[in-house]
Structure 1
Amino acid sequence: MSRVLTWIVNRFRHNIQVRLTCYFLLILLPLVLVSLFANERSQEILVEQATERSRLALDSAMDYIDLTLQSAEELSTLISTDADMVTLLERNGKELTPEAIVDFAQLMKQLSNLNSINNIATQISVYHHSSNMLLSNYYGGRKLAGLPEQDFMTRTAQSNGTGILYMLPSEIVDGQVTLGKLVVSDSVTLIRSMDLYNPDRQPNVLLISLNKTKLLNLIKPLLPSDNTRIFLTNSDGDMIVGVGKNGETKDIVVPFEPDMLSVTTHSQSSKWKLTMMQPESELYRDTEQVARYTYGIIGISILLALWISWVIYSGIASPLQKLSHGIKRFGSGKLNIQLENKRKDEFGYLTDSFNKMAQQQKHLIEDHYEQNLRLARTELKFLQSQINPHFLYNTLDSIYWTAKNYEADEISEMVLNLSKFFRLSLNKGRDVFPIGESISHLHFYIRIQQIRFLENFEVEYQIDERTRDVPILKLLLQPLVENAILHGMDGKEDGGRLIIETRIEGELLLLIVRDNGSGIKEERLHYIQGELERLNARNYKLYSLEEDQIEDLFGLRNVITRVKLYYGKEGSLFIESTEGEGTRTTLKLPLNKCKDVFLQSEQTEDEMEAGA
């Protein structure tokens, strides 16, 4: 996320077209926000009005359902307190005698008469506990002995008291369907005890089944659209009936749908609930056209803003950007840059001025910079030529000491290595060699020193194979190796060890010379490190021999000066030492400049051959 934000900020800062576009879009922002707010607010108002209308309609239907339920409850009270019915039930026992059959027939006739005065009641039944008979005006008498419903009737009469219980035919209690075989399927059953006012009453039960179809007919006219549904649930949230335009739904619970507008009203007497669910898309249908117009206007406005910003950019900012790109290309070294210009206004004058300036600058660079570059190359040649007499002096000194201690064979080997060393050093004026060849060259010098010091040290080469073909300036390692031998191995009779290592770390080439000699004293080490730090921090410019008149550290100063001139500020030289343990010298060169130095050297050789 931070990268994306940084990219946007950079584009805004460096691109005029992006800024122009952002400014035009910023002008449109209030219009867009007001339009979106107005559209959103209109939808909210529409939902509020639809909700209020639906609630009023549901309240009216709920009142009618309450009246229907109250009528059924009054009918249940009338039956359960009827003295004749209670007497008929109490005077009959377990046996189904002829007298009992007559009494039960009379009871069912009375139930049929009472059912006729309430058109919503489909079935009225009375359960006689003593004989386990269910007496119904719908299918007559039925014995429940041995059926699960018998236990349900007994428990209901004992636990319900004088209260009223509403149940569905498919409702399950204790893992058993309670009313499935006792009442009609399309019904809601009211259940209460008989002989309400007698505390010593028998567990006889009254069942009044209400017609669900008639309940559906009460709420179906409330449906405002084809996809709207209304659900009637009891106080426990169980579905009593659900209805849509196509009739009763198959839902067993009120579904939860996030894109539906839900309106619920509660009955104050029965605690039943009516819930209407209508798709929000149907409510927004009238505002969708206005919303489309709003979005269309916003889209057209944004397109106009982009088009206007592009027109302004093409007329004003584009010439500036072209000029900016030309300046960048000129700054990168493309001196022949000339911008196309067909304009006659201020931008045309500015472009012509740039083209003239570029031509003048090119001439200045050709006349002065190249002259300074040749001077720098001459100075480098002089610096590099100084190192050959220096090595010649030390090598002759080595031959002198060897002649005093050994026979002519060793002197002969030293002279042979010396000749090979100088032959490769001259090598037709080449300044750059691959590391592999430079190490072979270096070994001739080391062999001379090994003979001089009576083989009191051995040398180990740790050359990374990736570095063997990397080109470097010649005679970079010799001064470092010379210091390690003359100052590190001096006075060491045996066990000396010299390690030459090359490796690549990231974008840098590391040339390392280590020894296990006597090391450098702390005061002297601080002085050397301070001088190297000063030389490493010098600016990337032409160096003059007259800048440093100090006579010591000649080899190190020569190496760091050549490195800075050829490899720039990325090249550096460091030295570390512990007295009594040894010294480590590290030369760091940028890999990308190694190739540039090689190409520059090849070009110089070609120029020299052409001049010859």
Structure 2
Amino acid sequence: MRRIKFSNLKLMQKFLLSYFMLIIIPLILLSSITYKTVSTILETYITSATKQAFEQTYSFLSYKLYRVNDVSDIISNDNNITTIDSNLITILGKSPNTYPINEQIKDMFFLRKYLSSYENDIDISNLKLYVNNDFLYSNEDYNMFSLNKAKNSKWLTIFKENKTRNLWCPSSYLEDKPNSSPKELSLVSAIKNPNDFSKDIGFLRVDFKKSMVDDIIKKTNSVDGSFTYIQNSKGVIVSSTDDSLIAKYNLNNTLTTSLSSNTQNFQKLTINNNKCLLKSSLINNTDWYMTTIIPYDSILVKIKFIRNTLILLLSILGTIAFTLAYYFSNSITRRITKLNKSMRQVHNGSLETYIKDSSSDEIGELIDNYNFMITKMVILIDEQYKSGKEVKNAELKALQAQINPHFLYNTLDMINWMAFKDMNKEISSAVKSLAGFYKISLNKGKSKVSIKDELTHASLYVDIQNMRYSDRIKLTIDLPEELYRYSILKITLQPILENSISHGILGRGNVCGEIIISGKLENNDITLYVKDDGIGIPEDKIDKILTDDISSETGSGYGLKNIDKRLKLSYGEGYGLTFKSQYGHGTTVEIKIPATVHEDGFVL
């Protein structure tokens, strides 16, 4: 069924369907494969690039925090000052009760100079030393502070609770200006009593700028919509590249603590209904985690861009390919359709359908052969027509020559009988009618006469027959005069009248009869009716009249079959004789001919 359906398609449809199967579908498949491959490559590239940026940022940030940690270790563990009385641990371990004022002043200047030597605007912004409240310089409030100043800070509470040695502090752990924007991050280290490590004799706070950390982690975000943040082990956000995204993803302490466990390569996670790629790593020597989140939509945007680009290219290439395919197939099918149309016209009888085509391809050669074939056919048909016309004329003449010499013999015998009876007047009338009859029959060798002449010929025939049969035949002509000027084959009515008289009226016995000739013009055709009131034709013989010449039995000699054949040879198969009869009531013969004006107008 599919094969039949395909074979029934137009050639243009087959071409376009083939091009669609061979061009468009492969393009779609190629684009789909390319899209999937490029999407995978792009996703891998984005994650690899982000991973590389993450690792570079992580390394640099670790280095910066290591510098901070290194300074803190040097100062908080300092036992290597050249003068035994001038080291940090020795000074902080002194008892306030036995600590002279002048010595405190001396130690204050030493500590200020010592701590200031580590301060810079690059890594460390400030060093703060929290000492015994009873020391004179505990209120210096630049590098040295009383422990009372830290009693409300979160970092001191954590130290007391956890007994830890070092604490990396987000801004929220610090006591400085709690309502202001956080600008500092800190590493706080406990300074232990060398004689009892369970006791703290002071705290060293190393402050560094939060903006330094912010600037470093910003370099991680190479994808639009991605962000990086740093959190401590409690899930507190230390720094982030975009606080609005922190709020969007609702990253609370519990969630960030959970996310920090993903220390492997980028993993796909769903965070509050947002599909993401996430990577997190613990920064060395700290309890801080660096975490990067890439929204999967950001990757899809790039993938969708590639997809839309591929669709656009596919549309352009498909349109161009389909247009070229249509133009190519149309250049073929247009000429084949024109050739097919011309062949249909030839099939319908038109031989004037030459095709103009200047191409020299296979179709052009086919069109040239078609034009040659048509030319040859026209020549052969013309020759055949001339030959057929000659045969036809010869056949018509042969048919016309079949006039029964019996009619002439009977008429001459009748004239001879009249001469014997001295019927001179009747002889004159008979000879005059016979001469007029044969004058129209001969018609200067022409095969057609006007309908008026044919009616005159019929009247003369009936007049001669009435002389034989004592005026037993009445002829009535009821024909519109407008039909008189049209042409008809000569000697058409006479054989029909002869048949009506011999087989119709005389067939009823020694009675009189009437023949009526009428006609009409309709749709450029003329129909003549010859109606008699004779005995009629039996129903079983009506269909045999034009196949068996029933009139020959009585010697009429110019059978109805020959009349019908003459009309068809001259005018075509659509014309000729038709019989209608009711046995015992008469017969009507219909004569159908085309309406053609006679060339000589009215004759006689």
Which structure is larger by alpha-carbon Rg, 1 or 2? Answer: 2
- Give the TM-score of the pair, scaled to structure 1: 0.41
TM-score, reference length from structure 2: 0.42
